[in-house]
Structure 1
Amino acid sequence: MALIVSHYHADHVYGLQEFKRIGAKIYAQGEGRSYLSSETSKQRLIASRVDFAPWVNADTRLIAADVWIDQKIKLTIGGIDFFISRVGPAHVPEDLMVYVPSEKVLFAGDLVFRGRIPFVGNADSKGWLIALDEIEKLNPSIVIPGHGNYSVKPAEDIAFTRDYLKYLRESMSKAAINMDPFEDAYKQADWSEYDGMPLFRAANRMNAYNVYLSIQAE
């Protein structure tokens, strides 16, 4: 049994110990080791055991991969080829995507969002836009995102994710470069296209602020 970790965000890896228990071989991109050894990952797990109890509890552990991937590899399971490759740094430094050419199906992790505001976090938004171009070149018929239903119109969902990231960068760039206050830039931006979408209130302000900071660091 093979289990491929798209990236080491808590909501994607807190169940790994259960798959390990039944004998799965875990594959992940090598940059995931940095997350596992970070103080952030340890503190987040401690907090999650409180905030998300009983689903996250004392039995929840951070699990390292059995195979750390640093270049494109092919797994053949049941006669089906799965091509695993790094794409990024983008959403996170260790993004992986899995393409099944015989079915034209792409497992995109959190690189493509549909029907909801993307979670940007500490993403490399510039690298993420490049990653979306790579995904688009594959021309998949179906994209399986990290959250929500599968996409049967990948071009639309890729475009939605790209347009959102581009707008974040466009609306934050001038203020970030000129060291103008974030609050002013956020208030001046027109969010009408995204206001009302799921997770707008929870994520949009944080997304904009993180892009504002990341542009200053570029």
Structure 2
Amino acid sequence: MICFIRAWTGILGSLIFLGAAFAQSAGAPDNVQLKPIQVAPHTYFVQGRPEMGSSANQNFISNAGFVITPEGVVVMDALGSPILAQKLLAEIKKITNQKVVAVIVSHYHADHVYGLQEFKKIGASIYAQGEGRNYLSSETAKQRLIASRIDFAPWVNANTRLISADVWIDEKKRLNIGGVEFLITRVGPAHAPEDLIVYVPSEKVLFAGDLVFRGRIPFVGNADSKGWLLALDEIEMLNPNVVIPGHGAYSVKPVEDIGFTRAYLKYLRESMSAAAINMDPFEEAYQQVDWSEYEGMPLFRSANRMNAYNVYLSIQAE
């Protein structure tokens, strides 16, 4: 009788758990799929959607990539929610039996790091640029996570947490895993204070993080646009065959495709410079600019005005 009660209690507990999980996800169907794209013999990436993050897309708005070596898989960025990281791990398992041993963070923006805890669970080492320490301890990071638990629920929730790196990189690092070299370089401040780029010479592939955007308006935020332009020059000097951006399709014509991000940043600076220096009202300056080249692109309405305003402010501070 006792055994029967224990068994029934266990079944009932499972039913309650499943019921709660179903209730939590009600209204937020899981219809987001990740499809790895092979871009080099041992390199793949998944492409996020050109949208604002939401519960519907599980914050799948950025890219992630991975390289398979004889001694494990190295992942670049962890995506924007734990569920996405779980899906990425499942897709990696379909391609290789190798375990994920390292994750390199391009920068600590929410859409690139909220999946880190899933990689931490399986014992992967996390590498990030040293300035990321400041972000993790900031009120900005804390408030962003609080807001994300609402905006991206149930996929980002009370169990989602920010994860620190195991290895902080302050200059350059050569990471060798299974005979495959990963050249990790600190750049910037540029898109973020803690940008990293990762070049894999044997694959001729460069992971650019959010220094490169394709097919949508870049997110400038409080970026250092001058430093960002210098970082793009540094990417080109490595002469990769393939560039995987933080957002958008991969590039097999790096000079041409990097040119889009460069041209946009230069246009912002040129358009806002005189008004910023002369302390003219931002709204008047913004309305006088011809945005026709960009206004038909995804996220123009969401991002462009904010981008221009932040560049306007940053020029005043230079």
In structure 1, the partner of 2:33 is: none
1:180 is the counterpart of 2:312: no
Secondary structure in 1 matching 2:294:
coil
Letter in 1 for 2:183: F
RMSD: 0.7
In structure 2, the partner of 1:61 is: 161
| 1:6 counterpart (103, 106, 112) | 106
| 1:167 counterpart (267, 270, 276) | 267
In structure 1, the partner of 2:256 is: 156
Letter in 1 for 2:117: Q
Q: Deviations over 1:183-211 (max 9, x none)?
A: 11111111111110111111101000000
Q: Distance in 2 between matches of 1:71 and 1:134?
A: 14
**Larger Cα Rg: Structure 1 or Structure 2?**
2
In structure 2, the partner of 1:196 is: 296
1:214 is the counterpart of 2:311: no
Alignment of 1:131-146 (within 5 A): 131-146=231-246
In structure 2, the partner of 1:17 is: 117
Q: Distance in 1 between matches of 2:214 and 2:178?
A: 30
TM-score w.r.t. the length of structure 1 is 0.98
Alignment of 1:53-92 (within 5 A): 53-92=153-192
Aligned-pair distance for 1:147? 1.6
Q: Distance in 1 between matches of 2:257 and 2:109?
A: 21
The 4+ residue runs of structure 1 with deviation greater than 2 A are: none
Secondary structure in 2 matching 1:206:
helix
- In terms of mean alpha carbon deviation, does 140-149 or 174-183 score higher? 140-149
Q: Distance in 1 between matches of 2:267 and 2:248?
A: 22
Letter in 1 for 2:165: A
RCO (CA 8 Å, sep 6+): is it higher in 1 or 2? 1
Q: Distance in 2 between matches of 1:40 and 1:98?
A: 26
Letter in 2 for 1:4: I
Secondary structure in 1 matching 2:222:
coil
Aligned-pair distance for 1:139? 1.3
In structure 1, the partner of 2:217 is: 117
Sequence identity (%)? 85
In structure 2, the partner of 1:98 is: 198
Q: Distance in 1 between matches of 2:250 and 2:258?
A: 12
Q: Say whether the 8 Å CA contact 2:190–2:228 is kept in structure 1.
A: yes
Aligned-pair distance for 1:78? 2.4
Q: Deviations over 1:52-105 (max 9, x none)?
A: 101111111011100000121111122211100101110001000000112211
Aligned-pair distance for 1:148? 2.1
Secondary structure in 1 matching 2:247:
coil
Q: Distance in 2 between matches of 1:138 and 1:189?
A: 35
Q: Say whether the 8 Å CA contact 2:108–2:132 is kept in structure 1.
A: yes
In structure 2, the partner of 1:27 is: 127
Secondary structure in 1 matching 2:260:
helix
Secondary structure in 2 matching 1:212:
helix
Q: Say whether the 8 Å CA contact 2:215–2:249 is kept in structure 1.
A: no
